[in-house]
Amino acid sequence: MKKNLSILGATGSIGTSALDVVKKHSDKFRVVGLSGHRNIDLLLRQIKEFHPAVVAVTDTGACGEITSQCGGETRVVCGVEGAKEVATLDDVDMVVSAVVGAVGLLPTLAAIKAGKDIALANKETLVIGGALIAPALAESGVALLPVDSEHSAIFQSIRGHGKAEIRRLILTASGGPFRTWRREEIEKATLKEALRHPNWNMGSKITIDSATMMNKGLEMIEAHWLFGVDPEAIDILIHPESIVHSMVEYIDGVIIAQLGIPDMRIPIAYALGYPHRLDMELKRLNFAETGSLTFESPDRAKFPAITLAYEAIREGGTFPAVMNAANEEAVRAFMRGGVSFTGIHELVRRVMDRHKSLTVSLENILEADAWARRQAAEILGK
Ligand SMILES: NC(=O)c1ccc[n+]([C@@H]2O[C@H](COP(=O)([O-])OP(=O)(O)OC[C@H]3O[C@@H](n4cnc5c(N)ncnc54)[C@H](OP(=O)(O)O)[C@@H]3O)[C@@H](O)[C@H]2O)c1
């Protein structure tokens, strides 16, 4: 029987790769729902190709446009409520959560509560709402499969082992385009330079986060919630070749790692096909060609975002939501030329310094997220 999918963020880098997996294994998957935000042309092409029953367009302006252009059997729904509808359709088995940013939390939470398995790319869901997601998963009994390559690697390296046997998780990181740059050079980094990721082809927000290394901070928090491991037992290790996707160290000193070429279709296919592996007919890893694999510690003085993330999760409460929202605003400001590259982590730091944590509830997380964006705007306005 085919697995019915809704793909949130279908027009993005992960969304289009997920549709590649569906195309390659059309005997196993059927697309029932899609969501996009502003990329109407691509969404219309996807509707034509995959014939989803329902499509959500979260940008309300774009939604009007697509409704008039989209005839046939596909129903169009608008805004965040539309995304929630696509995430909770009766005949959907699994939701691929692949929008970018904190906006992913509400539809993902709705999908879990509606009993849908989740393939999670939207790490922000766990960063800001991890304390809500864990009990929601336990209550509904659905599976949450990580799509992030590092978490997929840990998930695969952890199978068959009890939590008590884990000593630490080792999240690998390419180090981004500025790994070898001096601090003074990084201060002057341009948008074009920050968007030039050495190994991965991704959406612009995560590419900038990889350059600041905030992405690894977000991933550390994601790993904490996914695997129930204390943040202090999650290490970050620079591995410029992006071949070892992450590792688990056990109490007997043994380390189990997952390796492969850097192509997001591999972890996506693993999440969609779980517990079975799917052949995507991709280039295979050839160690003789790869040569050496190298590792080094991250330089936290050059990349202070890593420290911000450890601080945020240690403080707990609404701190991770505030850090995430401030970072989203800071990255947006950098992309439009409103702050320098190093201004990104400085802005996040200033917003976090102003915050008094609230206890965790959905209402407080959303309030903290909105508060952090207002603080960022105020600081940027000065
Ligand atoms: N790309 C990767 O290789 C990768 C790897 C691991 C994890 N992730 C995570 O996966 C998520 C998606 O990343 P990505 O690189 O695929 O991003 P992306 O290419 O920028 O795509 C983002 C998707 O979200 C939609 N979107 C943008 N703003 C939205 C909003 N306000 N409300 C609802 N939808 C919105 C976009 O729609 P339109 O394009 O139609 O405007 C698009 O479909 C992120 O959380 C990222 O951290 C990505």
Supply the residue whose CA is at minimum distance from atom 17 of ligand 1: 203
The pLDDT value recorded for residue 17 is: 98
pLDDT band with cut points at 50, 70 and 90 for residue 73? confident
How far apart are the CA of 16 and the centre of ligand 1, in A?
A: 10
Range with lowest mean pLDDT among 57-61, 128-132, 147-151, 211-215: 57-61
Average pLDDT over residues 99-123: 98
From the CA of 39, give the closest atom in ligand 1.
Answer: 40
Helix (H, G, I), strand (E, B) or coil at 27: coil
Average pLDDT over residues 101-118: 98
The pLDDT value recorded for residue 165 is: 97
Pocket test for ligand 1, best of 13, 16, 57 (most atoms within 8 A of CB): 13
pLDDT tens digits, 35-67 = 999 999 999 999 999 999 999 999 988 998 888
Mean pLDDT, the chain, integer = 96
- Can you point out the beta strands (E) in the chain? 3-8, 29-36, 54-57, 75-78, 94-97, 117-120, 144-146, 166-173, 234-238, 244-250, 255-259
How far apart are the CA of 151 and the centre of ligand 1, in A?
A: 17
Helix (H, G, I), strand (E, B) or coil at 210: helix
pLDDT band with cut points at 50, 70 and 90 for residue 102? very high
Kindly tell me if the per-residue pLDDT of 97 is higher than 90.
Answer: yes
How far apart are the CA of 309 and the centre of ligand 1, in A?
A: 21
pLDDT band with cut points at 50, 70 and 90 for residue 199? confident
* Ligand 1: lining residues by beta carbon, under 6 Å: 9-15, 36-39, 58, 98-100, 103, 121-124, 148, 200, 202-203, 205-206, 264
The pLDDT value recorded for residue 66 is: 87
From the CA of 205, give the closest atom in ligand 1.
Answer: 20
The pLDDT value recorded for residue 352 is: 98
Kindly tell me if the per-residue pLDDT of 70 is higher than 80.
Answer: no
Supply the residue whose CA is at minimum distance from atom 15 of ligand 1: 203
Task: State whether the Cα torsion 330-334-340-341 is positive or negative.
Answer: positive
Kindly tell me if the per-residue pLDDT of 83 is higher than 90.
Answer: yes
Average pLDDT over residues 304-329: 98
How far apart are the CA of 12 and the centre of ligand 1, in A?
A: 5
Sheet holding 117-120, edge to edge: 75-78, 54-57, 29-36, 3-8, 94-97, 117-120, 144-146
The pLDDT value recorded for residue 69 is: 81
How far apart are the CA of 124 and the centre of ligand 1, in A?
A: 11
Pocket test for ligand 1, best of 206, 215, 327, 369 (most atoms within 8 A of CB): 206
The pLDDT value recorded for residue 224 is: 98
Instruction: Please state the three-class secondary structure of 71-132 as a single string.
Output: CCCCEEEEHHHHHHHHHCCCCCCEEEECCCCHHHHHHHHHHHHCCCEEEECCCHHHHHHHHH
Kindly tell me if the per-residue pLDDT of 68 is higher than 90.
Answer: no
How far apart are the CA of 58 and the centre of ligand 1, in A?
A: 12
Supply the residue whose CA is at minimum distance from atom 5 of ligand 1: 148
Pocket test for ligand 1, best of 7, 14, 63 (most atoms within 8 A of CB): 14
Average pLDDT over residues 89-97: 98
Other CB atoms within 10 Å distance of the CB of residue 91: 10
pLDDT band with cut points at 50, 70 and 90 for residue 223? very high
Kindly tell me if the per-residue pLDDT of 71 is higher than 80.
Answer: no
pLDDT tens digits, 130-148 = 999 999 999 999 999 999 9
How far apart are the CA of 162 and the centre of ligand 1, in A?
A: 33
Helix (H, G, I), strand (E, B) or coil at 33: strand
Supply the residue whose CA is at minimum distance from atom 6 of ligand 1: 148
pLDDT band with cut points at 50, 70 and 90 for residue 259? very high
Kindly tell me if the per-residue pLDDT of 72 is higher than 80.
Answer: no
Q: Which domains does the chain have, with CATH numbers?
A: 3-142 (3.40.50.720), 151-263+289-381 (1.10.1740.10)
Kindly tell me if the per-residue pLDDT of 257 is higher than 90.
Answer: yes
